[in-house]
Amino acid sequence: MSQLFTPIKLGNLTLENRIAIAPMCQYSAERGRATAWHRIHLGNLALSGAGLLILEAAAVEPDGRITPQDLGIWDDDTEQALGEVLKDIRKYSPMPLGIQLGHAGRKASTDVPWRGGGFLTPEQGGWQTSAPSALPFHSHDGEPLALTKARIEEIKQAFIDSAIRADRLGLDLIEVHAAHGYLLHQFLSPLANQRDDEYGGSLENRMRLTLEVFREVRRVFPADKPVGVRISATDWVEGGWDIEQSIALSQALEKEGCAYIHVSSGGLAPEQKISVGPNYQVPFSAAVKKAVSIPVIAVGLITEPEQAEAVLVEQEADMIALARGVLYDPRWPWHAAAKLGAKVQAPDQYLRCEPHDVKGLFNK
């Protein structure tokens, strides 16, 4: 029996297999509202046979967007637009759907990646950014405002309100984004957080906002629906956030009722030096898995079915997340099931495409 195609529970949510589609920003929203692109893109992925699809990072307030084209979930208009997309997807796919909630902090107000991703001034359609401390991501970016305690409370409330909207939309899961150099990660890392109040300094203080946001989201999202957290296990910079601190955070999150930890890395500082290669982040998920009892998701250049299977067999993670690889091959789970001798979901309209040499591949 393939480990990759055995069921798993995240909290009370049972998944048919251990393949998750990771959140991937599409930079294709209009004033935060989902568009026809999201209907096409997410609809395609929802027919992939994966066990879980997590929607891209949705900004909890307009100033929390990475780009002006980011998806949002901060008001009735953004909620309604996303709801219309989800309604169409659910008509044809039973796949559980989650959403990642995030705030970009000092990495906000940038152009889309295919135009270079540079910082946008207000005159260019950008806005004033904010962060734990008045330290820009790039030296040539606009200086962010150090968040006051009043603004921190507003952002926490924005996460709460967005979580309530996510539940109203019938989403099955929330992932709190505390990775890739965005706001919560900025508070975690001593490279970006130089505050001298209760949100800065010691590890306990730097973890405070992430734990507070998680606690509030967990409080308002129904108890039978899981809330997980995505972390960057290391900044890949000397003196920055690292795996030991990530383990401490993961253990603290587990005590708060976190359903899973999704382990990525990097994104906090331009000085990062990442050793990229197959499974390059798996040692981090393995280290976290040894320290907690909740499921751990591995991601990052896991491209082959046998490779994904081995990560699970070696108990280096409990699930595998696909990102760019599933954009390249949207039927990756089908192909993995065929290679590993497993079964996978397919829509009725596609059942006739089952190859003759793998008859019985599709669950009917």
DSSP string, 132-197: SSS--SSTTSPPPEEPPHHHHHHHHHHHHHHHHHHHHTT-SEEEEEE-TTSHHHHHH-TTT----S
Q: How far apart are CA 255 and CA 250, in angstroms?
A: 9
The H or E element that residue 213 is part of is helix 203-220
Tell me if 46 sits within 8 A of 97, measured CB to CB.
Answer: yes
Residues 6+ apart with CB under 8 A from 264: 179, 180, 230, 231, 232, 233, 281, 299, 300
**Lookup result for tokens 């010691």:** 202
Query: What phi, psi does 333 have (nearest 5°)?
Result: -60, -35
Q: How far apart are CA 310 and CA 268, in angstroms?
A: 30
The verdict on whether 27 is a catalytic residue reads no
Tell me if 285 sits within 8 A of 247, measured CB to CB.
Answer: no
- C-alpha pair distances (Å), 122 with each of 27, 34, 68, 220: 18, 23, 11, 34
Q: How far apart are CA 51 and CA 15, in angstroms?
A: 5
Q: How far apart are CA 226 and CA 142, in angstroms?
A: 37
- Catalytic residue among 27, 92, 182, 260, which? 182
Tokens of 185: 């990660």
Q: How far apart are CA 51 and CA 32, in angstroms?
A: 27
Q: Helix, strand or coil for residue 244?
A: helix
CA end-to-end span of the chain: 19
Report, as residue numbers or ranges, the catalytic residues.
182
